[in-house]
Structure 1
């Protein structure tokens, strides 16, 4: 079973926060983790986008 990691954060974020959340999601997915988040906006959307870019679903 894959490790599941929840990423939570505000619906609005700075560009730096977006970049960090995106990279976090990308790296987690690239290592086989399941990234869990709301994905509607801000930090969670960035983490979801990064996870997709890292090969996650």
Structure 2
């Protein structure tokens, strides 16, 4: 998980017109409070980062 976080940029998703989509703030409560589902963009920071993730998947 740490490799994934360091190798990826996580940001707002974009619609078909390339406008950022701001997610609604919604939390699910219970024994543990956590955010509800939302759309986002997850992209590799670089080609080197992409290769690091791909290599990690091969070793699973």
TM, length-normalised to structure 1? 0.31
Larger Rg: 2
Name whichever structure is richer in helix by fraction. Answer: 1
From the two aligned structures, give the one with the greater strand fraction.
2
